[in-house]
């Protein structure tokens, strides 16, 4: 693919909730531009952008699809982002590579939280937005209802630039209010028949055009004066005001499209070329340290890796956006995030899964770099002598965890290696070994997420995962104090074993951990044996005293003891320390502690009561509520044991509209009746082992 001047580049992200028609619209744009010879369809599993086998089988976008192509002597790069909440972070990262966002809103559904989240990300990155309304060809849909929904969920100056012609099965096109003409579509070729506005829409179109003009002239003082002076506004002046309004973010135009029939795709492409910002219009990109960079080809390099794709055969593929400077194939560049140098072999534009080699890349270019050694998502390439830090969105906290096991014996290595590779491309996946429970814990964003990961694991790396609910990492602690003797004596011929210790045990405030105090005076125990006593106590604490969980938040003071010149040893004192601690801990009212999570649940107003009631039933303590526009954020503290499978339950309660984040907050005492069951279960398990 040839190199384009920076002012001829348009990087556009398609965002919105799952099922809104983003991929269908993208496929229609590729088709009408001539970039593809057929109209790809998600339902037919022949989409250019949803090419992953799991995307085809589930008929949803899992990973941001990228396609660069030419239209009207401009290079357009479409970023087709995921719309389901468990994959949303991938799309949020992709917005760092865009200059503008098309929010795709399906007329068959109310605006959902995923759309709001992507809108908020676009706002944070100061990206201009337009709205493309799809699915007006579905029954029981209404353009007015979509506008009402947008107004309820977003604060923006939405400006209708089109009106639909017909609805449901009678939908056949739209009125372009800027051109003041009607465009109808007879088939799925994407070619429109231009004509006069239908008589039954004439009054509505005239009123809507007048409202549009009033909004557009507000972006330009000269036009505003002409408007109030009653002078005519030309179509060229309206088009200019439309562009300035989009680029400045003063207005959010609303257009009409229908992906499966390519309705409005050509018009949207023309709008992107004529009215969307180029990288030059987004002159200042803030860096992580507060500095600014601009789209200057001759400035030092600043490029961000916004996505990583891992393949067992092709290796790692990094997707990069250049903000400043330029780079070339077969050259070395500095990864300032990792402080390493990487050699770029091929530099390629992306068209779905196809790589299109390019010689070099400059400001605004989005491309792929195959087979880099150390580079991953969020890394920055910049001048080694003047390193740059570019901001990148932090991944959210994971929402659900599973204990993962290889289904087939001997596949443990495949499983571990596969998870490491999958983590390279998915920052919302975490695989860690829990040293306490000895389980491999896989944490992610939800049930659908883990299902997809399991399918990819089997397909890419040949390992099947068996998943179970993880063991809760309980703790034990003490509520009382005591003084106790720990004595170890063994004589079986030859050299014996002898150690005698006296320790004082007392509880510490929650979170203080463990403190060992040496109070030995007068040589009651030789100095070289005292660390062994501490080691024995720590070993016993790791094993627990009532249910096999680590003991925390205690202080142990060694204050007296005896030794034998011949039979005493470090091992004997280690054993004595362990015996003394276990004996004393059982006298100190041992209790169980459980991890408490801080949870924030985003829930529609109509589901608020159900969610609060459910949290209360899970032993949750409501901290407060933060109202939004049609939403409430409920903050609560809830025991981890009660919300390990909260994600699917919340989805069921809210018809898929609710979402949540959670993070560890503190440990607290387990209620006595529950502690008894946990201890009994642990005792049985220990006996079985």
Q: How many residues does the chain have?
A: 689
Longest dimension (CA), the chain: 116
Taking 3-state DSSP, the helix, strand and coil percentages for the chain, each rounded to the nearest 5, stand at 30, 30, 35
- Check residue 290 and give its pLDDT: 73
Give residue 450's Cα distance to chain centre: 14
Pairwise CA distance, residues 136 & 126, whole Å: 29
pLDDT of residue 495: 77
Q: Give the global pTM.
A: 0.85
Instruction: Round the CA-based radius of gyration of the chain to a whole number and report it.
Output: 32
Structure tokens at 98: 């865009």
- Work out the number of other CB atoms within 10 angstroms of the CB of residue 270: 12
> d(Cα 504, Cα 525) in Å, to the nearest integer?
16
Closest C-alpha to 242, from 257, 253, 254, 233: 253
- Contact between 341 and 415 under an 8 Å Cβ cutoff? The reply is no
Residue whose C-alpha is closest to residue 584's, from 557, 564, 562: 557
Would strands 482-490 and 360-361 be described as parallel, antiparallel, or unpaired? Answer: unpaired
DSSP 517-541: EE---TTSS-GGGHHHHHHHHHHHH
Provide the pLDDT for residue 217.
93
**Mean pLDDT split into 10-residue runs, the chain, 689 residues:** 92 96 95 94 91 93 96 97 94 97 94 91 95 94 94 94 93 94 90 94 96 92 89 89 95 90 93 96 74 87 94 84 94 94 93 92 95 93 90 90 92 92 93 88 93 94 93 94 95 83 96 95 94 97 93 97 93 96 96 96 92 96 89 94 90 84 92 93 52
150 CB contacts (<8 Å, ≥6 apart)?
105, 111, 131, 156, 158, 254
What does DSSP say about strands 285-286 and 252-256: parallel, antiparallel, or unpaired?
Answer: unpaired
Judge whether 537 and 450 are in contact, CB under 8 Å: no
Q: What is residue 685's predicted lDDT score, i.e. its pLDDT?
A: 46
Q: Give the DSSP H/E element, type plus range, for residue 360.
A: strand 360-361
* Contact status, residue 589 vs residue 547, Cβ threshold 8 Å: no
Q: Quickly tell me which residue has 């801990």 as its tokens.
A: 585
How far is 97 from 323, CA to CA, in rounded Å? 9
Neighbours of 360 (CB within 10 A): 15
Query: What pLDDT is attached to residue 338?
Result: 94
Q: Are 350 and 357 in contact (CB under 8 A)?
A: no
Domains belonging to the chain, first-starting first, are 6-197+249-275 (3.40.50.300), 294-382 (2.40.30.10), 400-468 (3.30.70.870), 476-588 (3.30.230.10), 592-673 (3.30.70.240)
Per-residue pLDDT at 493: 67
For residue 478, give the nearest of 450, 457, 449, 509 by alpha carbon. 509
105-117 residues labelled b (16+ CB within 10 A) or e (exposed) = bbbbbbbbbbbbb
Return the pLDDT at 689: 30
Distance of CA 243 to the CA centre of its chain: 32
- What is the spatial distance between Cα 179 and Cα 187, in angstroms, rounded to a whole number? 22
CB 292 within 8 A of CB 284: yes
**How does DSSP assign 252-286, residue by residue?**
EEEEE-BGGGTBTHHHHHHHHHHHSPPTTTS--EE
Q: Which residues contact 17 (CB under 8 A, 6 or more apart)?
A: 83, 84, 106, 109, 111, 112, 113, 114, 115
Beta strand 331-335 with 327-328 is: unpaired
pLDDT of residue 687: 41
């Amino acid at each position: 693919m040839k190199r384009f001047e920076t002012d001829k580049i348009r990087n556009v992200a398609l965002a919105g909730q799952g099922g809104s028609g983003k991929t269908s619209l993208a496929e229609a744009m590729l088709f009408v531009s001539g970039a593809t010879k057929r109209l790809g369809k998600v339902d037919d599993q022949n989409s250019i952008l949803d090419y992953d086998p799991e995307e085809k089988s589930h008929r949803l976008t899992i990973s941001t699809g990228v396609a660069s192509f030419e239209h009207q002597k401009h290079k357009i790069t479409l970023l087709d982002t995921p719309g389901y909440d468990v994959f949303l972070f991938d799309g949020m990262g992709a917005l760092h590579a865009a200059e503008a966002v098309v929010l795709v809103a399906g007329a068959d559904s109310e605006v959902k939280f995923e759309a709001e989240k992507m809108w908020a990300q676009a706002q944070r990155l100061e990206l201009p937005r337009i709205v493309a309304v799809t699915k007006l060809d579905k029954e029981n849909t209404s353009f007015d209802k979509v506008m009402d929904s947008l107004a309820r969920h977003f604060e923006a100056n939405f400006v209708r630039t089109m009106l639909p012609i017909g609805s449901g099965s009678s939908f056949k096109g739209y009125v372009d209010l800027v051109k003041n003409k009607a465009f109808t579509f007879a088939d799925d070729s994407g070619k429109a028949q231009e004509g006069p506005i239908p008589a039954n829409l004439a009054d509505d179109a005239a009123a809507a055009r007048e409202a549009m003009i009033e909004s557009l002239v507000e972006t330009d003082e000269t036009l505003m004066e002409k408007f109030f002076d009653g002078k005519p506004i030309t179509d060229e002046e309206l088009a200019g005001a439309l562009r300035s309004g989009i680029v400045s973010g003063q207005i959010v135009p609303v257009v009409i499209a229908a992906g499966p029939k390519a309705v409005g795709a050509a018009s949207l492409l023309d709008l992107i070329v004529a009215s969307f910002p180029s990288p030059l219009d987004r002159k200042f990109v803030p860096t992580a340290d507060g500095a600014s960079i601009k789209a200057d080809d001759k400035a030092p390099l600043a490029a961000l890796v916004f996505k990583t794709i891992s393949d067992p055969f092709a290796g790692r593929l990094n997707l990069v956006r250049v903000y400043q400077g330029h780079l070339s194939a077969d050259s070395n560049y500095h990864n300032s995030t990792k402080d390493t140098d990487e050699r770029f072999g091929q530099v390629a534009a992306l068209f779905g899964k196809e790589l299109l080699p390019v010689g070099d890349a400059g400001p605004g270019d989005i491309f792929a770099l195959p087979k880099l050694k150390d580079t991953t998502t969020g890394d920055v390439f910049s001048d080694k002598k003047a390193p740059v830090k570019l901001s990148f969105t932090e991944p959210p906290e994971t929402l659900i965890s599973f204990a993962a096991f290889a289904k087939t014996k001997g596949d443990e290595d495949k499983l571990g290696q596969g998870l490491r590779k999958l983590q390279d491309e998915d920052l919302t996946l975490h695989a860690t070994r829990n040293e306490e429970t000895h389980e491999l814990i896989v944490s992610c964003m939800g049930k659908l997420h883990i299902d997809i990961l399991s399918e990819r694991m089997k397909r890419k790396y040949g390992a099947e995962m068996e998943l179970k609910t993880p063991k809760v990492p309980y703790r034990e602690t003490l509520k009382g104090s005591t003084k106790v003797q720990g004595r170890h004596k063994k004589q079986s011929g030859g050299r014996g074993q002898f150690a005698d210790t006296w320790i004082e045990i007392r509880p510490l405030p929650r979170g203080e951990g463990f403190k060992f105090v040496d109070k030995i005076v007068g040589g009651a125990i030789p100095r070289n044996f005292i660390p062994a006593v501490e080691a024995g106590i720590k070993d016993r604490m790791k094993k627990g005293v009532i249910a096999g969980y680590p003991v925390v938040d205690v202080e142990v003071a060694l204050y007296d003891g005896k030794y034998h010149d011949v039979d005493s040893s470090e091992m004997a004192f280690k054993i004595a320390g362990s015996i003394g601690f276990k004996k004393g801990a059982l006298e100190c009212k041992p209790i169980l502690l459980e991890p408490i999570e801080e949870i924030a649940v985003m829930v529609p107003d109509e589901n608020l009561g159900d969610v609060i009631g459910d949290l209360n039933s899970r032993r949750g303590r409501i901290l407060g509520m933060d109202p939004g526009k049609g939403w409430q954020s409920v903050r609560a503290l809830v025991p981890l044991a009660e919300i390990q499978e909260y994600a699917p339950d919340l989805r069921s309660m809210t018809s898929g509209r609710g979402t949540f984040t959670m993070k560890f907050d503190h440990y607290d005492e387990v209620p006595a009746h529950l502690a008894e069951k946990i201890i009994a279960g642990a005792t049985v398990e220990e006996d079985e082992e």
